[in-house]
Amino acid sequence: MKILCVPNFSEGRDSSKIQLISKSIESISGVKLLHIDSGADANRTVITFVGTPEAVCNAAFEMIKTASEIIDMQVHRGKHPRIGSTDVCPLIPLQNISMEKTVEYARKLAERVGNELDIPVYCYENAASVPERRNLAFCRKGEYESLKQKLVEQKPDFGPDIFTPKIAKTGATIIGARDFLIAVNFNLNTKSKDTASLIAAGIREKSKISDGAKLKGIKAIGWYIADFGIAQVSVNITDIHATPLHRVFEETRKRSKQLGVDVTGTEIIGLVPEKVLLDAGRYFLSQTENGNPENVSDSILLKTAIEKLGLNDLSPFMSDKKLLKI
């Protein structure tokens, strides 16, 4: 049995702290660290690691403990929404394990973090205790700044429900079990956060815009990233089977053009399943004149996807480091 863990930490600027967190993961035998992705403007780091369920849960506990000791939420500032030092910690069934069993591991981890580290824990997605908490945005609503009130109005699933000096430093943590998710940012040739936000509002599943695409499993926000000097549409694709990456890309381009801007490229955060880019390559080849994606090698499909999605726009896309074969 194998599960994947993709925790998000509220630190993307201090490499020494990120290194300490990654070392705490690697200190547990039976896990393999696959990828680290940090962003200074977002002030956030996404780490991906894999292993047996028991080993992954032990590593997750150690990394949450380490993060709580070295990250102070009282001084944290960043573009990305967050509620604690370890903001979110999802477990993802990967090999020979059911979602139901993964949920059991997630809730046991959440209970251990709450009891032994005295950190409030909200369980989300498939591990949620109530329907509303399946939604990560609901669990994180108000972010760290509203945590004191949240602990009173929405008791955590595990851990203390009083805003102590320790919790003022650590914040809360959101732990759950979910399917694979793709985190992706679409680069725009504008600096306007408002424009990016309008595009995001038009593509997400819960769009309130009358002609919104309402793409299943799509969550999106707009922001300006000073590091790159551009605005981005930041997207989580939570159902990669219902809404493939290339469809989100095309819809984002469509909405952008309506507002007089262009999508110049794509930034994938963390890892992406190889199949997602192979499917994108097939799609883009099928859209070309005389294009025929049948009997085309995987290397050609990947090259096509990388080119059409603009994956080299901000930095070279390293296939050997970014692709997850599942």
Active site residues: 80
The length of the chain is 326
Closest alpha carbon to 4 in 75, 78, 94: 94
- Amino acid symbol at 270: G
Whether residue 182 contacts residue 266, with contact meaning beta carbons closer than 8 Å, is answered with: no
Identify the residue whose tokens are 């040739």: 189
Whether residue 254 contacts residue 202, with contact meaning beta carbons closer than 8 Å, is answered with: no
CA distance 11 to 9: 6
Cα–Cα distance list, 282 to 144, 237, 265, 274, 295 (Å): 42, 19, 18, 13, 10
Whether residue 270 contacts residue 234, with contact meaning beta carbons closer than 8 Å, is answered with: no
Residues 34, 39, 44, 46, Cα dihedral to 10°: -10
Identify the residue whose tokens are 């381009």: 253
Whether residue 129 contacts residue 157, with contact meaning beta carbons closer than 8 Å, is answered with: yes
Whether residue 245 contacts residue 280, with contact meaning beta carbons closer than 8 Å, is answered with: yes
CB contact set of 252 (below 8 Å; sequence gap of 6+): 186, 199, 203, 233, 235, 263
CA distance 17 to 205: 36
Beta-sheet pairing, 173-177 with 86-95: parallel
CA distance 139 to 128: 10
